[in-house]
Amino acid sequence: MSNQGPDNSKIVKRLLLTVAGMFAFGFALVPLYNVFCEVTGFNGRTNNEPAAVSQHEVDKSRTVRVQFITRTAQGIPWKFEPEIKEVRVHPGEVRVVNFLASNPTRDDMVAQAIPSIAPAEASLYLNKVECFCFNQQPLAAGNDAEMPMQFYIDPEIPDHITTFTLSYTLYDMTANATPESLALLESTE
């Protein structure tokens, strides 16, 4: 037998390092994926921090249809609907759309809305100045609420996007409520 390469232990060490590196890489894919999606808009997420108020000229030559869809996830029996199913806006124009939520249960609950846009490409051009989805939404038993969403479309939006759909899914977060949500709940009672 001839040892043609480096020591066995040296190779094993290198291979084990590779294994550890690839295990770490598996987890590194999570932030990488998020950054990638933020830059490209591939997964249809919208901004979850307030955008600056529009400084853009309103482009009256174009109109974009924005459609709204709402749904509730398993385990949250709220009613949750947009006040209007569809709006037509000029790029640069600021609009407010209200979403109506009511909690028909006998329990105080906290919900979180998660947005998604189709086609995903449009998500890069939707700027929310204010949105109920930035925070958890507490709602006492039997109460209802009007939740505003203020937005404008970036005039840079490509011409081929004439319509896009913004969907909100409402998740039950009562078990993971933030202290602020709980404080809000108490103040309403």
Helices (H), the chain: 8-40, 179-188
If one asks whether residue 35 binds other proteins (CB under 8 A), the answer comes out as no
If one asks whether residue 39 binds other proteins (CB under 8 A), the answer comes out as no
With a CB cutoff of 8 Å and minimum separation 6, the contacts of 161 are: 64, 119, 121, 122, 125
Size of the site for other proteins (CB under 8 A): 41
Q: How far apart are CA 63 and CA 157, in angstroms?
A: 11
Task: Show contacts with other proteins in window 114-133 (CB under 8 A).
Answer: 114, 118-121
If one asks whether residue 27 binds other proteins (CB under 8 A), the answer comes out as yes
Q: How far apart are CA 47 and CA 117, in angstroms?
A: 11
If one asks whether residue 143 binds other proteins (CB under 8 A), the answer comes out as no
Q: With contact defined as beta carbons under 8 Å apart, do 79 and 101 qualify? A: yes
Return the number of the residue (37 or 140) whose C-beta is nearest other proteins. Answer: 37
- Measured CA distances, 57 to 51, 130, 152 (Å): 16, 20, 11
Applying CB under 8 A, among 12, 35, 96, 141 the residue interacting with other proteins is: 12
If one asks whether residue 112 binds other proteins (CB under 8 A), the answer comes out as yes
Q: Closest distance between other proteins and the C-beta of residue 68, in Å? A: 18
Q: Is 164 exposed, middle or buried (0-12, 13-18, 19+ CB in 10 A)?
A: buried
Which residues of this protein are in contact with other proteins, per CB under 8 A?
1-5, 8, 11-12, 15-16, 18-23, 25-27, 29-30, 33-34, 37, 40, 42-44, 73-74, 112, 114, 118-121, 169, 171-173, 176
